[in-house]
């Protein structure tokens, strides 16, 4: 309806023509139905549970309405408000570091011909494969008071802001990389040719062509990094020491003191900066132009010895640092008793000794992660397509894009409790989902919706709306364009999303601890309880089993890319 | 002779039970049991109970005390658990205040030690075994640093331990809270806070989990961890160079307990479990892990467990006072020790 405002293409003459329709045809009904379905999913899986929790912020512990009293109590307690500044500091610092490193890395992968790009990329995304327990174990083994590399901290303690920032950079790096690689991989070679023909310096081209082109990706990446670092509680819990942040405050209120109202207040405080960054995203998004018009020529980097070597060196250092974290846990999983008996042993991999559910939790994890990946990719990508290219229900489409960004800002712990309040309510007709695998799948998909959605919409924004306009004027239904043009063009990103959802579903635990039953316990939940019982080496071993599984899927993905995708991506060559 | 007829009776009754079980339902009654027991305890307890109660299957949902209690509270309007077996009594008191528990006096309840009983009749929860606050002391690190072993809580404020000591944050951890409330009850509030002011100077890190300080001590991250004696004993058995010190003044303690969840659809089976949980046999199973159990006389030595645990439990430790003053104490604690949040090196 108002598509003329959306997605202006590079060639103004080719703007989508406004079509006059008097009634909705079959195609429009199907499209509206799709938008409605995705909208309902997000409302049920994200909005309503959070609402069920956040009304608690206005109640006392007995459930009576008390207005803003909890907020007044919160803001007049300095030991609580101090955490706001601590959190903002830690999240900002790790965002600056991660986005800078991530941009350099992504640039190296997409715009240079540095050697070993596949290997470097594979190493760089490993943090996404690891449960949050893994960096926690590695950081302590490396930089703890008995750590191998303690000297690198120059006498500072890992337990505090330094440890949190290091952990968050490790944890958010692949998320940022995923978005930036997507953003940087779509560039119109013609712009660079024009710049070159005009004799523009490389530096100037970078500032006037490259950076503006990935502005949306950069802002998305920063928002994701900031929000993840702000809300993550795993790293802060283990290496936070005496440094209090909002995410650990939620834990203290909800788990330590069973004070759900105050937990909800801290949850809302956590949401505020995330909403602010969301507004920034919207603002930049509106100005984003499609990178790839129907006439674009995809940029293929040309070898350039000096530049390639410099990028290779820098990216290798980053990849090595990441690999060291992973290697440390791999090593830890074979150690008999760290740091006193460094004999190597395999017994840590015999999980029946340390966890009553043994290997069943692992098979549960596989079922859960595969469902999240397959269903999730279809919902997320389809949803993002309908939001970006859809023509009807503008309000709902807007709501979807708002709701899609929300889960990122919600700590898993908060989402898990919110699910109990909403789905377990006696009056909820969806109550039958409690205790099933389905609720774990829905919860995990909702929790990780944001990054997947951002990747999908980043790439979809870069695909010119002209394709839809042309097919509309040729009377080709939108699903054919979707299946024959959009999906093949976006296939690398679709695979990224699939692998991302699989890996995160395999590693997530913080919200599942409230929802699993004996029949649906997952491996990531087992990692936490094994570690809780003091079997650190076995926890590392289970974490490594998860990593190996994700890595195998990742390897499969690379094979598919190399041999299967080439066919669809030939258009990238001139 | 007597033994013989007993065996016959047993066989007959067992046969009847099997027939009854197979007649009553094609599938066993599945009890959803929420617990904070350690993983290693789950299988032996389940097996022992199911052997005596054919037709009932135990399905564990296990997590840390804090998480499992929060989950039970959140599920309040529509409980998913049938029974709680092995969660801190102080947590069960919170659940009881919320009206989540079904009062029930298990058969044989009167045999238990008085300290393990709820004040109410019929009780809403029943104690199983006890654990207490302890200091995990890494002998390898201490020898290297030439650090003497503390014998009392008072010793811990000595300058020699500065930056070598970790304890759980009482706002996150039940163990942390029972230790703090133990000090306040023991020393009186004024002296208690003064003690903690001095102690705070020596604490390197406040952790979010109660067993974590002991695990850090076992890894040599810090030399001393204020934690739970149970964790210390089990880590020592795994080979960690630990000594488990029960301070002379006595320690705050806590017990694991059983309670039936109000609204369970399997009330009969839940009662059977509650009955079984107070038997001597059950207590012998607990005794494989904990030195102090609710059943008088069930007291076998456990490897690496401090021998005098029962005497070191503060006689005067008042659970009701601890529960009633919790919010006030935690607010005061956070005010004093949270705001100054820079990490100590």
How close, in Å, is residue A173 to chain B by CA atoms? 25
Residue A2 lies in a domain: no
Residue A424 to residue B231, Cβ atoms within 8 A: no
What are the structure tokens assigned to A70, written together?
A: 């909890």
What are the structure tokens assigned to A480, written together?
A: 């054919």
User: Looking at chain A from residue 411 to 430, which residues have their Cβ under 8 Å from any Cβ of chain B?
Assistant: 417, 420-421, 424-426
Residue A570: the pLDDT is 66
Nearest to B67 among A160, A241, A255 (CB): A255
Q: Categorise residue A290: left if φ over 0, alpha if ψ from -120 to 50, beta otherwise.
A: beta
SS3 B238: coil
pTM above 0.90, yes or no: no
Residue-wise burial string across A42-78, b where 16 or more C-beta atoms lie within 10 A, e elsewhere: bbbbbbbbbebbbebbbbebeeeebeeebbeebeebe
Residue A522 lies in a domain: yes
Is A355 in CB contact (< 8 Å) with chain B? yes
Residue B172 to residue A255, Cβ atoms within 8 A: yes
Q: In this predicted model, what pLDDT tens digit does every residue of B10-63 receive, in sequence order?
A: 555 555 555 554 444 446 899 999 999 988 899 999 999 999 999 999 999 988
Q: In this predicted model, what pLDDT tens digit does every residue of B256-277 receive, in sequence order?
A: 999 999 999 999 999 999 999 9
- Return d(Cα B343, Cα B266) in angstroms, integer: 50
Residue A11 lies in a domain: no
Q: In this predicted model, what pLDDT tens digit does every residue of B297-319 receive, in sequence order?
A: 998 888 899 988 999 999 889 98
Residue A14 lies in a domain: no
Whether B196 contacts B336, CB under 8 Å = yes
Whether A42 contacts A380, CB under 8 Å = no
H-run or E-run covering B168: strand B165-168
Q: What is the ipTM of this complex?
A: 0.84
Residue A258 to residue B73, Cβ atoms within 8 A: yes
Residue A342 lies in a domain: no
Residue B169 to residue A256, Cβ atoms within 8 A: yes
What value does the mean pLDDT of chain B take? 90
What would the mean pLDDT of B217-226 be, rounded to a whole number?
A: 95
Residue A269 backbone dihedrals phi, psi, to 5 degrees:
-60, -40
Residues of A in contact with B343 (CB under 8 A): 157, 159-161, 241-243
User: Which stretches of chain A drop beneath a pLDDT of 70?
Assistant: 1-24, 274, 285-294, 566-574
Neighbours of B307 (CB within 10 A): 11
Q: Which of B79, B205, B341 to mutate to test the interface with A (most CBs of A within 10 A)?
A: B341
How close, in Å, is residue B60 to chain A by CA atoms? 6
Residue B226: the pLDDT is 97
Is A409 in CB contact (< 8 Å) with chain B? no
User: Looking at chain A from residue 270 to 309, which residues have their Cβ under 8 Å from any Cβ of chain B?
Assistant: none
Residue B341 to residue A243, Cβ atoms within 8 A: yes
How close, in Å, is residue B111 to chain A by CA atoms? 31
Nearest to A338 among B40, B206, B219 (CB): B219
Tell me the DSSP string of A259-276: -HHHHHHHHHHHHHHHHH
Is B219 in CB contact (< 8 Å) with chain A? yes
The CATH number covering residue A215 comes to 1.10.3720.10
Nearest to A159 among B74, B205, B340 (CB): B205
Is A140 in CB contact (< 8 Å) with chain B? yes
- Return d(Cα A217, Cα A186) in angstroms, integer: 11
Residue B173 to residue A256, Cβ atoms within 8 A: yes
Q: Which of A248, A250, A255 to mutate to test the interface with B (most CBs of B within 10 A)?
A: A255
Residue A241 to residue B206, Cβ atoms within 8 A: yes
Is A79 in CB contact (< 8 Å) with chain B? yes
Residue A496 lies in a domain: yes
How close, in Å, is residue B112 to chain A by CA atoms? 28
Residues of A in contact with B339 (CB under 8 A): 78-79, 82
Residue B341: the pLDDT is 43
Q: Which of A225-229, B289-293, B300-304, B337-341 has the lowest mean pLDDT?
A: B337-341
Residues of A in contact with B60 (CB under 8 A): 356, 518
Whether A247 contacts A411, CB under 8 Å = yes
As beta bridge partners, residue B243 has B137
Residue A23: the pLDDT is 57
Neighbours of A20 (CB within 10 A): 5
Residues of B in contact with A433 (CB under 8 A): none
Residue A146 to residue B221, Cβ atoms within 8 A: yes
Residue A534 to residue B211, Cβ atoms within 8 A: yes
Residue B172 to residue A421, Cβ atoms within 8 A: no
Nearest to A254 among B70, B231, B240 (CB): B70
Residue A241 to residue B326, Cβ atoms within 8 A: no
Distance of CA A451 to the CA centre of its chain: 4
Residue A448: the pLDDT is 92
Residue B311 CB partners (closer than 8 Å, separation 6+): none
With CA atoms as reference, report the closest residue to B230 among B93, B75, B38: B38
Residues of B in contact with A529 (CB under 8 A): 39, 62-64
Residue B141: the pLDDT is 95
How close, in Å, is residue A513 to chain B by CA atoms? 8
User: Looking at chain A from residue 155 to 184, which residues have their Cβ under 8 Å from any Cβ of chain B?
Assistant: 155-157, 159-161
How many beta-carbon pairs below 8 A join chains A and B? 167
Is A476 in CB contact (< 8 Å) with chain B? no
Residue A323 lies in a domain: yes
Q: Which of A420, A426, A432, A509 to mutate to test the interface with B (most CBs of B within 10 A)?
A: A420
Q: In this predicted model, what pLDDT tens digit does every residue of B158-209 receive, in sequence order?
A: 999 999 999 999 998 989 999 999 999 999 999 999 999 999 999 999 998 8
Is B52 in CB contact (< 8 Å) with chain A? no
Q: Which residue of B has its CA nearest to A258?
A: B70
Residue A144 to residue B327, Cβ atoms within 8 A: no
- Taken in order of first residue, the domains within chain B and their CATH numbers are 2-130+254-293 (3.40.190.10), 132-253+306-337 (3.40.190.10)
With CA atoms as reference, report the closest residue to B100 among B262, B253, B281: B262
Residue B201: the pLDDT is 94
Is B73 in CB contact (< 8 Å) with chain A? yes
Residue A420 to residue B172, Cβ atoms within 8 A: no
Give me the number of domains chain A comprises.
1
Distance of CA A198 to the CA centre of its chain: 40
Residue B66 to residue A256, Cβ atoms within 8 A: yes
- Return d(Cα A190, Cα A200) in angstroms, integer: 14
Torsion angle (degrees, nearest 10) of CA A118, A122, A123, A127: 160
Residues of B in contact with A256 (CB under 8 A): 66, 169-173, 208
What are the structure tokens assigned to A333, written together?
A: 């999983």
Nearest to A435 among B80, B343, B345 (CB): B80
Residue A109 lies in a domain: yes
What residues make up the domain containing A305?
A: 30-58+77-288+295-337+351-572
Nearest to B221 among A140, A237, A252 (CB): A140
Residues of A in contact with B80 (CB under 8 A): 424, 434-435, 517
């Amino acid at each position: 309806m108002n598509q003329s405002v959306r997605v202006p293409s590079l060639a103004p003459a080719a703007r989508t023509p406004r079509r006059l329709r008097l009634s909705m045809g079959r195609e429009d009904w199907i499209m509206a139905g799709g938008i409605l379905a995705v909208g309902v999913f997000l409302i049920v899986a994200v909005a309503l549970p959070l609402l069920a929790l956040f009304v608690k912020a206005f109640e006392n512990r007995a459930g009576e309405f008390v207005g803003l009293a909890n907020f007044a109590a919160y803001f007049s307690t300095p030991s609580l408000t101090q955490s706001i500044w601590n959190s903002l500091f830690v999240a900002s610092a790790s965002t600056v570091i991660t986005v800078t490193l991530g941009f350099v890395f992504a640039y190296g992968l997409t715009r240079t011909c540095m050697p070993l790009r596949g290997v470097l990329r594979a190493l760089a995304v490993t943090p996404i494969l690891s449960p949050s327990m893994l960096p926690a174990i590695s950081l302590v083994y490396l930089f703890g008071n008995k750590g191998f590399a303690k000297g690198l901290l120059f006498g500072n303690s890992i337990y505090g802001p330094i440890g949190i920032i290091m952990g968050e950079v490790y944890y958010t790096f692949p998320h940022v990389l995923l978005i930036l690689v997507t953003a940087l991989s779509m560039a119109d070679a013609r712009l660079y040719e024009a710049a070159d023909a005009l004799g523009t310096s490389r530096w100037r081209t970078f500032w006037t062509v490259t950076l503006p082109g990935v502005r949306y990706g950069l802002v998305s990446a920063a928002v994701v990094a900031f929000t993840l670092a702000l809300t993550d509680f795993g790293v802060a819990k283990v290496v936070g020491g005496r440094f209090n942040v909002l995410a650990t405050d939620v834990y203290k209120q909800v788990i330590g003191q069973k004070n759900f109202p105050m937990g909800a207040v801290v949850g809302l405080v956590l949401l505020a900066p995330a909403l602010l960054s969301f507004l920034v995203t919207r603002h930049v998004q509106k100005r984003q132009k499609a990178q790839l018009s129907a006439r674009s020529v995809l940029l293929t980097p040309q070898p350039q010895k000096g530049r390639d070597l410099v990028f290779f060196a820098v990216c290798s250092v980053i990849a090595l640092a990441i690999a060291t974290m992973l290697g440390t846990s791999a090593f830890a999983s074979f150690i008999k008793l760290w740091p006193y008996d460094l004999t190597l042993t395999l017994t840590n991999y015999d999980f029946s000794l340390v966890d009553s559910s043994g290997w069943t939790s692992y098979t549960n994890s596989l079922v859960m992660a595969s469902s999240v990946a397959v269903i999730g990719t279809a919902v997320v990508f389809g949803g993002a397509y309908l939001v970006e290219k859809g023509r009807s229900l503008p309000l709902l489409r807007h709501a979807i894009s708002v709701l899609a960004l929300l889960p990122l800002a919600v700590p898993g712990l908060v989402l898990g409790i919110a699910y109990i309040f909403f789905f377990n309510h006696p009056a909820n007709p969806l109550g039958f989902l409690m205790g099933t695998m389905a609720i774990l799948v829905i919860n995990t998909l909702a929790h990780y919706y944001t990054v997947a959605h951002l990747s999908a919409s980043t790439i979809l924004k870069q695909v010119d709306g002209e394709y839809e306009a042309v097919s509309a004027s040729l009377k080709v239904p939108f699903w054919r364009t979707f299946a024959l043009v959009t999906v093949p063009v976006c296939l690398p990103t679709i695979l990224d999303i699939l692998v991302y959802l699989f890996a995160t579903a395999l590693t997530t635990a913080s919200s599942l601890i409230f929802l699993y039953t004996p029949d649906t316990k997952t491996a990531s939940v087992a990692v936490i309880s094994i570690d809780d019982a003091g079997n650190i080496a076995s926890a590392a071993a289970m974490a490594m089993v998860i990593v190996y599984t994700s890595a195998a899927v990742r390897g499969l993905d690379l094979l598919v890319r190399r041999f299967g995708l080439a066919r669809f991506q030939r258009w990238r060559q001139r | 002779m007597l033994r013989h007829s007993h065996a016959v009776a047993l066989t007959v009754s067992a046969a009847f039970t099997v027939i009854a079980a197979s007649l009553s339902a094609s599938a066993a009654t599945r009890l959803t049991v929420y617990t904070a027991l350690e993983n290693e305890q789950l299988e032996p307890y389940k097996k022992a109970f199911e052997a005596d109660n054919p037709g009932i299957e135990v399905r564990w949902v296990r997590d840390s005390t804090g998480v499992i209690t929060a989950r039970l509270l959140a599920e309040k309007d529509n409980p998913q658990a049938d029974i709680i077996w092995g969660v801190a009594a102080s947590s069960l008191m919170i659940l009881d205040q919320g009206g989540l528990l079904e009062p029930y006096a298990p058969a044989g309840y009167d045999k238990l030690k008085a300290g393990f009983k709820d004040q109410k009749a019929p009780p809403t929860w029943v104690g199983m075994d006890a654990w207490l606050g302890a200091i995990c002391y890494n002998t390898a690190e201490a020898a290297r640093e030439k650090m003497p072993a503390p014998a009392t809580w008072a010793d811990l404020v000595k300058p020699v331990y500065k930056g070598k000591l970790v304890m759980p944050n009482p706002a996150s951890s039940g163990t942390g809270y029972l230790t703090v409330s133990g000090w306040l009850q023991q020393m009186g509030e004024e002296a208690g806070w003064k003690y903690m002011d001095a102690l705070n100077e020596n604490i390197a890190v406040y952790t979010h989990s109660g067993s974590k300080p002991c695990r850090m001590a076992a890894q040599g991250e810090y030399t001393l961890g204020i934690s739970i004696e149970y964790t210390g004993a089990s880590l020592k058995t795994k080979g960690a160079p630990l000594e488990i010190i029960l301070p002379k003044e006595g320690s705050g303690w806590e017990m694991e307990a059983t309670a039936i969840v109000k609204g369970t659809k399997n009330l009969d089976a839940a009662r059977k479990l509650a009955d079984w949980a107070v038997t001597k046999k059950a207590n012998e199973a607990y005794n494989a892990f904990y030195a102090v159990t609710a059943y008088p006389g069930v007291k076998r030595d456990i490897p690496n467990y401090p021998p005098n645990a029962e005497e070191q439990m503060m006689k005067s430790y008042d659970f009701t006072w601890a529960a009633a003053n919790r919010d006030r104490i935690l607010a005061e604690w956070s005010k004093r020790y949270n705001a100054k949040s820079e990490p100590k090196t």
